[in-house]
Structure 1
Amino acid sequence: MLLPCIAYFVIFHVWPIAGMKLAFYDYRIIGNDVYVGFKYFKELFGTPIFGQVLRNTLIISAMKMVLIFPIPILFALMLNEFANGKFRKAVQIVSYLPHFLSWVVIAGIWFEFLSPTTGAVNELLKLFGFHAQDFLTDKDSIRWVLLASEAWRSMGWDSIIFLAAIMGVSPSLYEAAHLDGANRWQIVTRIVLPHLYIPMVTIFILNVGFIMNAGLDQVLNFANSSVNSRIDIIDTYVYRMGLLNNQYSFATAANLFKSFIGLVLVLSTHFLSKRLTSKGAW
């Protein structure tokens, strides 16, 4: 049963590592590749647009990591408070569904939702006397659109690990708390939240490692000429340079730089967490 999972990671995550050497070679369709050292890294750091896409990547990823991170935790706590088991399961199923939709479908839903003419958001704005806005072409709004759509898609699915940790709390702890006269807020803060500490630390460390991944599929589907300067990220830059412009070595150098920064951040956060709290990702 584990074999398909192992095959997936070997084919799509381990085997491609060998291809990263292309960042140090001048790619040739015919003949052997020519070693050029750090030529493409120098070109990468000397390109004015790279500073912009790096800044966009860090801003969008930081917004998602800081503002979305608490949402699945709060959602799991809310689900745990539902006394009606059937209603809780119904809410869980509905909240999980967006995770299985492609970003093409999700973008289509949000285009309708934020439409300046018939969208629900603008209809509410008009109802309260405000002017309709085209959020999808507004540079000041587009990053918040990415944030909201990502939160809507991942909230339910990401809450599973926290809900599982809550379900693992011993019933005897709840019984002892009730005997001691603890109210619901005290039970949540003194019993439930401490059991979420380790998964929270682990998820946060992993999120830090993915800070350079701001969401290629999402950005490609929400991008347009009006907002590209605010949401153009390293992944879309690599996509353009590598697949559209056929600059494979240059694109590989950019992607290798992104992967290296992610690795450094994961290790640094892990060791810092171990030093401060004696708990890390492993």
Structure 2
Amino acid sequence: MGRSGNLPYLIRNKWLYIFLIPGILYLLVFKYLPMAGLVIAFKDLSLTKGIVDSEWVGWYHFETLFQSSNFYRILKNSLLLSFYQIVWGFPAPIILALTLNEIRHMFFKRITQTILYLPHFISWVVLAGIVMSFLSPSTGIVNHVLNTMGFESVPFLLKPEYFRTIIVSAEIWKEVGWGTIIYFAAMSGIDPTLYESATIDGAGRMRKMWHITLPGISATIVILLLLKLGNILENGFEQIYLLYNPMTYATGDVFETYTYRIGLQQGRISYGTAVGMFKALVGFTLIIMANSVSRKLSGKSIW
């Protein structure tokens, strides 16, 4: 015992560091090494000349982006979708976790958790097909109910005003159960004697939830909210690409889909890189600001 205590920390915990190797390699290969390609945003990339020999154009692609008529539409769509996801999607797993935590019948609780986790493992391709089937004007169950009530069928997926609601609702349904796992882990770290003391003092379930459980997971809530704010321009590509169409570009076109169309389909790789770089810089700035504000107001922060 004494000898192991004198060994260097790295050697004594070598297996922990060995288990970190795959994650570190993933970050290096897929996150940090590609950053060298950001220089493409300042060049007029020619696939025949390569990155090094392509013409240097400086801030031209960023100026083109800010002067584009599509920029403010895409920025507005991205911010609104993220805002709706934060307002409706962020509290959903918290409320669900608090609710499930109050269930005392363990068998029912586990079955419920399993059912709620399942949508997370459904790919967006399959889920998009399910959404299309539900909302189909001719065979969808939603329009069938509307027809039964005397209303005409509505082509929901062709209506720009419904697109954001469809996307946010689908994302909540898919991820709300999985999102509770982190909050359950945070709840497991709350001292049980606090609940026992509250019971002796006559506190009911709601008071325990409000004064013990919520404060106990508040640090986790703040950290996840900060990370969410840092990704405020990240709306996801798959779900939007699979469900949107030219009819819903007005409310559904975001930076991910715009970059895909411009960069890959139209071959404007340098311009697409500039769009992605702008989005990353905005996210980085927001997470720094949100972290600073949180640390000053609540004393909780990521670093």
TM-score bucket of the superposed structures, by smaller chain: over 0.9
1:173 aligns with 2:191: no
- 1:202 and 1:131 map into 2 onto residues whose CA distance is 46
Aligned with 1:33 (options 43, 46, 54)? 54
- 1:30 and 1:108 map into 2 onto residues whose CA distance is 40
* Count of residues paired in the alignment: 282
- Structure 2, gaps ≥5 residues long: 1-18
Aligned with 1:82 (options 100, 103, 109)? 103
Query: How many Å apart are 1:29 and its aligned residue?
Result: 2.1
Query: How many Å apart are 1:241 and its aligned residue?
Result: 1.1
Q: Which residue does the alignment assign to 1:42?
A: 63
Q: Which residue does the alignment assign to 2:143?
A: 122
> 1:64-103 to 2 correspondence within 5 Å?
64-103=85-124
Letter in 2 for 1:12: F
Query: How many Å apart are 1:160 and its aligned residue?
Result: 0.8
Q: Which residue does the alignment assign to 1:216?
A: 237
Aligned with 1:4 (options 16, 22, 39)? 22
- 2:151 and 2:193 map into 1 onto residues whose CA distance is 54
Secondary structure (helix, strand or coil) at the match of 1:37 reads: coil
Query: How many Å apart are 1:152 and its aligned residue?
Result: 0.5
* CA displacement 1:6-64 (0-9 Å, x = unmatched): 22222211111111111111212233122211011111111111121111111111111
Q: Which residue does the alignment assign to 2:78?
A: 57
Query: How many Å apart are 1:66 and its aligned residue?
Result: 1.6
Q: Which residue does the alignment assign to 1:200?
A: 221
Query: How many Å apart are 1:67 and its aligned residue?
Result: 1.4
Q: Which residue does the alignment assign to 1:273?
A: 294
Comparing 128-137 with 233-242, which one deviates more in the overlay?
128-137
- 2:46 and 2:248 map into 1 onto residues whose CA distance is 35
Deviating beyond 6 angstroms after TM superposition, the runs of 4 or more aligned structure 1 residues are none
- 1:25 and 1:3 map into 2 onto residues whose CA distance is 35
Q: Which residue does the alignment assign to 1:109?
A: 130
- 2:183 and 2:151 map into 1 onto residues whose CA distance is 39
1:187 aligns with 2:208: yes
1:245 aligns with 2:255: no
* CA displacement 1:90-134 (0-9 Å, x = unmatched): 111221121122211110111112222332222333344433322
Higher Rg of the two aligned structures: 2
* CA displacement 1:70-99 (0-9 Å, x = unmatched): 000001011101111121111112211211
* CA displacement 1:148-191 (0-9 Å, x = unmatched): 00000110111111111112222111111111011111111011
* CA displacement 1:194-227 (0-9 Å, x = unmatched): 0121011001100001111112111100011221
- 1:175 and 1:29 map into 2 onto residues whose CA distance is 68
Letter in 1 for 2:251: R
- 2:208 and 2:148 map into 1 onto residues whose CA distance is 42
Aligned with 2:158 (options 120, 126, 137)? 137
Q: Which residue does the alignment assign to 1:18?
A: 36
- 2:78 and 2:228 map into 1 onto residues whose CA distance is 14
- Identity within the alignment, %: 37
- 2:105 and 2:152 map into 1 onto residues whose CA distance is 42
- 1:127 and 1:4 map into 2 onto residues whose CA distance is 55
- 1:129 and 1:195 map into 2 onto residues whose CA distance is 50
Secondary structure (helix, strand or coil) at the match of 1:196 reads: helix
Letter in 2 for 1:82: I
- 1:83 and 1:188 map into 2 onto residues whose CA distance is 14
Secondary structure (helix, strand or coil) at the match of 1:185 reads: helix
